[in-house]
Chains A and B, each alone.
Chain A
Amino acid sequence: MKTLLLATFALSLFAPDAPALPEAHFKVVVNADNPVNELEAEQIGRLFLRQDTRWRNGTAAEPVDQSARATIRSDFSTKIHRKPVSGIQRYWQKQIFSGRGTPPPVSESDDAVLSFVRSRPGAIGYVSADAEVGDGVKIVAVSP
């Protein structure tokens, strides 16, 4: 027990600081009917990890991810989850095989993400910083 406590303390000394969010190369989008205008990175992370499954108004949250090979996925994972994509994939392996849940669906492009978000009131996704989101989708501000 004492060894474990010492190990915990020792590990904490090497833990890296959280990366700064303002340099993100993506923007987070939700359905235009969603009353949310701003979210903390941690809240977004919990939605995508399906630890929170509802919005405050009671609507079911429906995250949509991008391909594990996409650069934007890597940026999102590092900024929001503070882990590389492989770490999140390992999280989902644990969830799946312990019977706790399955990962969000994956869309292969910004357009596919926007289409998904536009069609579902509880959807949340992320697209490239320079993507045109169009009608039915709104961008939410992300705070660290």
Chain B
Amino acid sequence: MKTSIVRCWTAGALLTLAAAPGSTQGLENVAVHGFGGWAFAETDDNSYLIGNAEGAYDNAAFALNVTARPTENLSIIGQFELQQRAEFPDLETVLDYGFAEWKFADTLRLRAGRVKHPFGLYGETFNVGTLRPFYLLPQSIYGPERYTARSVDGGALTGNLAWGEGWSVRYDLYGGRISGRLRISGIGVPEEEPLQHGLQEIPWGFDDVVGLRANLSTPLTGLSVGGSFYRGVATGFFSVGETEKVVGVHVEYDLEPWQVRAEWASIFDDPIVRFDTYYVEVAYKVWKGLQLAVRWDSWSGDIKLPPELLPPFVYDIQDSEDWGLAVNYWLDPGFVIKLNYHMVEGNRFASAPVPDDQLTNGFEKDTSMLVLGAQFSF
């Protein structure tokens, strides 16, 4: 475990040095940035996301972002990430995105390659911990579910339109293919996918995707609202070949000392399951860098198949309600120490400490988790 974390951070440090000869952000047309974090997480019984009952130290991540502007209108942008997770011990290296962007005007930019998936508030900044009050994103929408992927392989149009008086809109119109890894607790459908701590990771995706996101900034400083939509043909293990639609709406108020966010999203036209997901998070800086936060995060599923076709435990994992509390200290906007406590009811994202128990006897429906970690960006 210790070796893995050292390996992750060492690799990250070497990559930073390799990518930035001379200085980290010094070259006129090349900018290098990064983010990362580490956390210890312990639960009372079940395994839950980054934590388990023994206490998991093996949660670390480091990402490097490079932006080059060879000419005024052309940008080349790439980001890759090293990630170590307690429940899946192999070090992952992921190309988050890599694309070229041509600016026709501020209102119209064309992107081609692997671009970030523009969905909701956090879809493009998945693991950037300095942009949120909790170590973990709200799992309902940004967890291991079939909504948001790291990227879109294809193309996108994006731009900003402003009307004055504080009104402006940023839009993203994209098409291509999205894919990700769906984490499922204990269903055990595809035998070739190994079960680790009661969890399976199963590939999912959508082909022929067409999507749109719009974010409207209002004259009330810090307040914005928006919506996301995409449709595509499902690939992977579930509902293969079906055309499905995903829709989400969001609102954000971000003006210190307050940060308030709420989102709702749902998937339509899936023949097997319909799920509704939403969260509300409120954070307030009480004194200097000291921030308190609370979050309610809810996922509820509705299986459309007849009960006799599925084992009973499947119905035990169709809900998750996570109340999170946070006490954070921001030493700087780029460095934060977080102490988070989660009270979880329902097992959509939890798994039994002993996988066999999950498949035969079910497992505890309540999980508590304490997270102590630090996240940074530069």
Contacts and interface: CB of A to CB of B under 8 A. Distances in A.
A54 B21 CA distance: 31
Contacts of A52: 106, 162
6 closest residue pairs by CB, A with B: A98-B124, A15-B220, A89-B333, A99-B77, A82-B221, A102-B31
Most chain A CB neighbours (cut-off 10 Å) among B79, B160, B250: B160
Contact of A51 (B162, B220, B330, B377): B162
Interface centre among A51, A82, A87, A100 (most CB of B within 10 A): A100
Contact of B251 (A8, A60, A100): A8
Contact of B262 (A7, A42, A54, A99): A7
Given A51-B106, A86-B333, A97-B79, A4 B254 contact: no
Contacts, number: 114
A83 B220 contact: no
B125 A98 contact: yes
Given A11-B223, A83-B222, A99-B65, 17 more contacts: A11-B253, A15-B222, A42-B164, A42-B165, A51-B160, A51-B168, A87-B222, A87-B254, A93-B333, A94-B131, A96-B31, A96-B33, A97-B63, A98-B125, A99-B101, A100-B158, A102-B67
B116 interface: yes
Nearest to B121: A94
A101 B261 CA distance: 23
Contacts of B118: 98
Given A46-B162, A60-B72, A86-B256, A97 B65 contact: yes
Please classify how large the interface on chain A is, using the bins under 10, 10 to 19, 20 to 34, 35 or more: 20 to 34
Interface in A1-47: 1, 3-4, 7-8, 11-12, 14-16, 18, 42, 46
A1 B264 contact: yes
A15 B218 CA distance: 11
B350 interface: no
13 contacts: A3-B262, A11-B223, A11-B251, A11-B253, A12-B220, A42-B164, A86-B256, A90-B333, A93-B334, A97-B33, A97-B131, A97-B377, A99-B101
Interface of B: 31, 33, 35, 63, 65, 67, 72, 77, 79, 97, 99, 101, 103, 106, 115-116, 118, 124-125, 128, 130-131, 158, 160, 162, 164-166, 168, 218, 220-223, 225, 249-251, 253-256, 258, 260, 262, 264, 278, 280, 330, 333-334, 377
B106 A90 contact: no
Contacts of A96: 31, 33, 65, 67
Given A15-B223, A53-B103, A93 B250 contact: no
Nearest to A4: B251
Interface of A: 1, 3-4, 7-8, 11-12, 14-16, 18, 42, 46, 51-54, 60, 82-84, 86-87, 89-90, 93-94, 96-102
A97 B250 contact: no
Contacts of A102: 31, 33, 67
Contacts of B264: 1, 3-4
Contact of A87 (B65, B251, B256): B256
A8 B223 contact: yes
Given A1-B249, A99-B116, A102-B31, A93 B106 contact: no
Contacts of A12: 218, 220, 223
Contacts of A54: 106
Contacts of A100: 158
A42 B255 CA distance: 17
B220 A89 contact: no
A77 to B, nearest CB: 11
B291 to A, nearest CB: 11
Nearest to A8: B251
Contacts of B67: 96, 99, 101-102
Contacts of B223: 8, 11-12, 15
A131 to B, nearest CB: 25
B221 A83 contact: yes
B326 to A, nearest CB: 17
Contacts of A7: 251, 260, 262, 280
A93 B377 contact: yes
Contacts of B333: 86, 89-90, 93
Contacts of B260: 7, 11
A100 B125 CA distance: 11
